[in-house]
Structure 1
């Protein structure tokens, strides 16, 4: 990824939690916690 962090995904999860409390970043994608569904990253 080009980052020097030991666990970069943990950092991304923390950022998603503090900035967007109803969205979570998982290994499978971005999840809407309220609706319990995956969120599309590309808006068409």
Structure 2
């Protein structure tokens, strides 16, 4: 599952990854710096 968000003039996405078995914390991947939402969607697929 992931989210697409806008911050200022750029878009970014956050993807939830698996839980770390040692710490129990959720891992996430975030990628920023997309100037257009359609570019973000193309890159994140």
Higher-RCO chain (CA-CA 8 Å, sequence separation at least 6): 2
Structure whose residues are more often strand by fraction: 2
Larger radius of gyration: 2
TM-score if structure 2 supplies the norm length? 0.23
Greater fraction of residues in helix? 1
